[in-house]
Amino acid sequence: MLDFIILLIVIAVAVVLVVMNIRIVPQANAFVIERLGGYLKTWGVGLHIKIPLIDKIAKKTDLKEKVIDFPPQPVITKDNVTMKIDAVIYFQITDPKLYTYGVVRPMVAIENLTATTLRNIIGQLELDETLTSRDVINTQMRSILDLATDPWGIRVNRVEVKNIIPPQDIQNAMEKQMRAERERREAILIAEGQKRSAVLIAEGNKEAQILGAEAEKRAIILQSEAKKEAAIKIAEGEALAIKMIKEAGPTKEILTLRSFDAFIEASKGNATKIIIPSEIQSLVGLATSLKEVMTNEENEA
């Protein structure tokens, strides 16, 4: 009976030890196992059992990508300007064994390595290049850090320069420069607008003068054409009248009367000198003689 109780106790203790040494490794995790103080193997995702009092879990490693935001680091540029730069590093553990045994306090090692690398890169750049070359800085830092952390089982996926903080006097000078640049651009835009306005006004005046000249030219042409047409109509009328007179066969007396009518019409104009045909002169002389005879007869009576 006593032996049976002891057997039950031993079985219960064995079951408890087995249950206590069952481990489940969750997704995106890995456990580094040591046996008697030496590396044995790395457990992946799933159910595992370790030997009690012999095996132990040396390190539980999270394999998900991590982000470290380091505080601003003081750096000196090539032109001796001291500034502060903080960087953000995205990394991932790829080998739990190397991560466990490769370096003591890996995060501190990465921080110090980042600060050193950042100082080396910025020391080769001037202030203006530093402010405008973030992509170059990020690429160089990622390449250097990834190569240096590879023996630690760490892969650096991306490095981003978050803030570049120059000294206060440099910031003031940059603000003044930026303000002057904005004022220069504003002055250029105003000058361009005034120039464009002057050009448009000049072009408008030019077009107005051209249109006025064209209108005046057109008016003169129309007046000339109207006079020409009027002269043609008058000439056609005179030609038609002469033709009709010739066809009617007028006598000398009729022609003389017509000439007298023409002389009367001409005398109504603005001419200062009138040439009188000989037929009309004789007619006028006859009229004058008749008037004198009539005047004498009246005086005798």
Question: Quick one: the chain helix, strand, coil %, rounded to 5?
Answer: 60, 20, 20
For 66-166, give the CATH class: alpha beta
Using DSSP, state whether 112 is helix, strand or coil.
Answer: helix
- The whole model's pTM is what? 0.56
What is the torsion angle, in degrees rounded to the nearest 10, for the CA atoms of residue 44, residue 45, residue 49 and residue 50?
A: 30
Residue 82 CB coordination number (10 Å): 11
Residue 33: both structure tokens together: 């196992």
* pLDDT 10s digits, 179-209: 888 888 888 988 888 888 888 888 888 888 8
Residues in the chain: 301
Detail the DSSP E strand segments found in 52-120.
55-62, 66-69, 73-76, 82-93
Residue 271: both structure tokens together: 């001419």
Residue 225 bridge partners (DSSP)? none
Give the angle 134-136-137 at the CA atoms, nearest 5°.
65
CB 70 within 8 A of CB 87: yes
Domain map of the chain by residue range?
A: 18-61, 66-166, 168-251
* pLDDT 10s digits, 121-175: 999 988 888 888 889 999 999 999 999 999 999 999 999 998 888 888 877 877 7
